[in-house]
């Protein structure tokens, strides 16, 4: 192969005006307008640790954490080094020979996952991890139906969308998968009624992320486990956002001592450096593919670069005790937010969550919108939950420093003060 040298690394970074016009002409004019509004015209050009840096060099403290992607912060040096090293060995898989990194990753996932979860299907995103779980549940049970919870979010491909609990994203695409039903979150009686012997799988986020940071009670999780076992249903736990140390344990289900039949991961699995998803199943679920291992596949799933990033990320999570850090920093942040909720009861209804997956619920949507706006002015990024605009979520890196938490709390306090002054409520 002739290698042509080019000056590919010597390119001028495009200006805000150029990027905006490319968005308008080649991505979506509506998205260009939206991002101009919500993103304050900032271009993300650099990122490190808990910080995102724009084209002017302005630094923003990232308390949205990419919706759970940046548990290790941005560009953790160990993950970056692992991926750079891998680039010099093999980048994408031939898919003809065995892929040792994918195999090692699957073994590591089995080691840390709840009891019995042994087999991994590696993909590239959260929604793909869910699609694999849905197909596996149908095949393993020979049944068609799925039950999930109101307000849930499992992704936007057709299958995942069918089991997500928000009509706004579903209605334009009907008909979706048939036989999908939602039940009220944390309602045991509703579960008893809905989990009939026609159901293939029950899908649950143990902490609903986009639904507004709702934590499933241990009793709910344990009942779900029991009912699924009794009625031959596969219990599918979606830990795409809550998994991998974010709630103070490896997985949110670990708080209740519950082992599902299938568990999905993505987001932080790639350490904020590579995209990757995983569907981890027990022997009962995995027997669906017995004798037909190629029935569900993915070209890029488990590629060496992403697998290497995931292995490095899991190692960092262990070495830096990120579960423990999430628990400790979560307590500090939750305490600070709870004090602010008491100071601003006219704006804030409740603080809730587990570890560093926290939500602030407002009395009205407009207060949340104002808070995000005011916080960005103060160089801190926070975001809505997708299915519940009254709730602002805080999902900073798990290795966030104490000083950064204090800085974020100061920004929240000032932003609440400004929101009260501008939108003042009499509640």
Q: Determine which residue in the list 113, 123, 241, 313 makes contact with ligand PLP, applying CB under 6 A.
A: 241
Assess contact for 384 and 308: CB atoms under 8 A. Answer: no
- Contacting ligand PLP within 169-208 (CB under 6 A): 205
Cβ-closest position to ligand PLP: 126
Question: Residue 265 interacts with ligand PLP (CB under 6 A)?
Answer: no
Question: Residue 127 interacts with ligand PLP (CB under 6 A)?
Answer: yes
Query: Taking the complex as a whole, how short is the minimal distance between the CB of residue 275 and ligand PLP, in angstroms?
Result: 8
Assess contact for 113 and 167: CB atoms under 8 A. Answer: no
- Give the total of residues touching ligand PLP (CB under 6 A): 15
How many whole angstroms separate alpha carbon 352 and alpha carbon 213? Answer: 7
Binding segment for ligand PLP among 90-98, 151-159, 191-199, 414-422 (CB under 6 A)?
Answer: 151-159
Output the CA–CA distances (angstroms, integers) from residue 382 to 230, 295, 356, 416, 421, in the order listed: 42, 41, 13, 13, 20
Question: Residue 209 interacts with ligand PLP (CB under 6 A)?
Answer: yes
Query: Taking the complex as a whole, how short is the minimal distance between the CB of residue 283 and ligand PLP, in angstroms?
Result: 24
Question: Residue 153 interacts with ligand PLP (CB under 6 A)?
Answer: yes
Residue 102 exposure: Cα atoms within 13 Å on the Cβ side? 27
Question: Residue 352 interacts with ligand PLP (CB under 6 A)?
Answer: no
Sequence-distant (≥ 6) Cβ neighbours of residue 420 within 8 angstroms? 344, 346, 347
Q: What is the SS3 assignment for 391?
A: strand
Question: Residue 238 interacts with ligand PLP (CB under 6 A)?
Answer: yes
Query: Taking the complex as a whole, how short is the minimal distance between the CB of residue 357 and ligand PLP, in angstroms?
Result: 10
Question: Residue 395 interacts with ligand PLP (CB under 6 A)?
Answer: no
Residue 243 or 368: the one with the smaller Cβ distance to ligand PLP is 243
370's enclosing H/E stretch is: helix 365-377
Q: Determine which residue in the list 155, 165, 212, 270 makes contact with ligand PLP, applying CB under 6 A.
A: 155
Residue 66 or 330: the one with the smaller Cβ distance to ligand PLP is 66
- Contacting ligand PLP within 67-96 (CB under 6 A): 67
Sequence-distant (≥ 6) Cβ neighbours of residue 95 within 8 angstroms? 299
Full DSSP string of 72-94: T-BT-HHHHHHHHHHHTT--S--
Using CA atoms of 171, 172, 177, 181 in order, give the dihedral in degrees to the nearest 10.
Answer: -10
How many whole angstroms separate alpha carbon 10 and alpha carbon 224? Answer: 56
Q: Determine which residue in the list 114, 126, 212, 248 makes contact with ligand PLP, applying CB under 6 A.
A: 126
Which spans of this chain sit near ligand PLP (rule: CB under 6 A)?
A: 67, 125-127, 130, 153-155, 205, 209-210, 238, 240-241, 266
């Amino acid at each position: 192969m002739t290698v042509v040298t080019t000056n590919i690394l010597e390119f001028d970074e495009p200006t805000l005006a150029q990027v905006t016009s490319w968005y308008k002409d080649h991505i979506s004019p509506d998205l260009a307008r939206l991002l101009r509004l919500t993103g304050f015209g900032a271009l993300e050009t650099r990122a490190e640790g808990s910080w995102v840096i724009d084209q002017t060099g302005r630094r923003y403290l990232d308390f949205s954490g990419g919706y759970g992607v940046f548990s290790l912060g941005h560009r953790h040096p160990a993950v970056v080094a692992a991926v750079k090293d891998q680039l010099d060995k093999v980048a994408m898989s031939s898919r003809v020979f065995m892929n040792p990194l994918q195999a090692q990753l699957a073994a590591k996932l089995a080691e840390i996952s709840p009891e019995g979860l042994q087999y991994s299907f590696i993909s590239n995103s959260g929604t793909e991890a869910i699609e694999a779980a849905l197909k596996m549940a149908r095949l393993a049970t020979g049944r068609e139906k799925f039950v999930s919870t109101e307000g849930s979010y499992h992704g936007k491909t057709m299958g995942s969308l069918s089991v997500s609990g928000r009509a706004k994203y579903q209605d334009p695409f009907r008909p979706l998968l048939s036989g999908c039903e939602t039940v009220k979150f944390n309602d045991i009686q509703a579960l008893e009624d809905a989990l009939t012997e026609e159901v293939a799988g029950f899908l649950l986020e143990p902490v609903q992320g986009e639904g507004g940071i709702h934590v499933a009670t241990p009793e709910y999780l344990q009942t779900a486990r029991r009912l699924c076992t009794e009625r031959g249903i596969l219990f599918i736990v979606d830990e795409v956002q809550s998994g991998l140390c974010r709630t103070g344990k490896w997985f949110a289900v670990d708080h209740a001592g519950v082992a599902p039949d299938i568990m999905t991961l993505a987001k932080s699995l790639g350490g904020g450096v590579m995209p990757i998803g995983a569907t981890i199943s027990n022997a009962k679920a995995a027997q669906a593919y017995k004798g037909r291992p190629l029935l569900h596949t993915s070209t890029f799933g488990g590629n060496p670069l992403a697998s290497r990033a995931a292995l490095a990320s899991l190692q960092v999570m262990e070495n830096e005790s990120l579960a423990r850090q999430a628990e400790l920093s979560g307590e500090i942040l939750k305490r600070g937010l709870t004090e602010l909720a008491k100071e601003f009861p006219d704006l804030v209804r409740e603080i809730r969550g587990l570890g560093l997956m926290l939500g602030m619920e407002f009395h009205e949507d407009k207060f949340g919108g104002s808070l995000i706006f005011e916080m960005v002015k103060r160089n801190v990024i926070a975001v809505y939950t997708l299915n519940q605009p009254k709730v602002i979520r805080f999902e900073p890196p798990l290795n966030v420093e104490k000083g950064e938490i204090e800085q974020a709390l100061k920004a929240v306090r000032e932003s609440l003060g400004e929101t009260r002054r501008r939108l003042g409520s009499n509640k």
